Amino acid sequence: MKTRLLRTISQVREYTFGIRQRGLKVGCVPTMGALHAGHGSLIDHARAESDAVVVTIFVNPIQFDRKDDYERYAKGLESDLTFCELRDVDAVFTPSVEEMYPEPIATFVDSLDLSNYLCGASRPGHFRGVATVVAKLFNIVQPDAAFFGEKDAQQLAVIQQMARDLNFPIRIVAVPTVRESDGLALSSRNQRLTPEERLNAPAIYQALTEGRRMIENGEWQAEQVKTTLLNRLAGQPAFRVEYVDIVDPKTMQPVDSISGDVRIAAAVWVGSTRLIDNVLCRAS
């Protein structure tokens, strides 16, 4: 199937309006490109639940707290389009920065409580940028459902909260994390790892699964789980831990006493590459 390439807001609105006029459902997969099997899983879920799938590819400058990170972010539109065509994506919206931000933006969407911890603590303004651009994409595409990965659990929580608070008539679908055979969560940032760093990177997931076993076996003190994980990660000389914490999966706030569902989340620098991962677990 030939995927339509849409570059302007007006083109997208005309396209999705025509689909909805026929009584069909639109599924949206917002991405920043550099597509991999994790994005493929999002697309597959959207394909199964929608009549038409629109993938957005836009490296959003207002969500980067470091200019060098924005400039280094992988870009490869031709290969991304091929990726989408192989997965029967109906349309790809790939606007320029000027199309999305024709003038300096003065209005933002911010979810303060959800954004001020974990990744938000070290990346000021990041989730404000994410929520703002996703709100814009929702207003442009006007999908019935939008699909996001659980690997970016805090981002997912921010978007779910935004959709509720601002009454977006859009179903937010959470899709499980896709991993390599050795457990490493798929990410476009993985390609920045050296061969040795790539060999060691699965230790992050191994530590998280150890924490999950502790909780499922009855450990209820969050500090004890964190200490165990930090000690395990300290055994990797190339690692620099930014955070490891146990949080409520809805509020993303830390818990001291573990009960019910919790999420163990981590951000670890492997060499010069920042990787995030998390696992959901339930106390016994």
pLDDT tens sequence across 260-282: 999 999 999 999 999 999 999 99
Cα-based distances in Å from 31 to 43, 59, 86, 180, 233: 11, 8, 17, 20, 30
Neighbours of 30 (CB within 10 A): 23
pLDDT at 72: 77
What's at 48, amino acid-wise? A
CATH of domain 4-175: 3.40.50.620
User: How do the domains of the chain map onto residue ranges?
Assistant: 4-175, 188-282
The alpha carbon torsion through 131, 28, 102, 111 (nearest 10 deg) reads -10
pLDDT at 238: 92
Look up the CATH superfamily of 188-282: Pantoate-beta-alanine ligase, C-terminal domain (3.30.1300.10)
Other beta carbons within 10 angstroms of residue 199's beta carbon come to 13
pTM (2 d.p.): 0.95
For the chain, give the mean pLDDT: 95
Which residues of the chain fall short of a pLDDT of 70?
A: 1, 74
What pLDDT is stored for residue 67 in this prediction? 77
pLDDT at position 19 is 97
Active site residues: 39
Model pLDDT, residue 74: 66
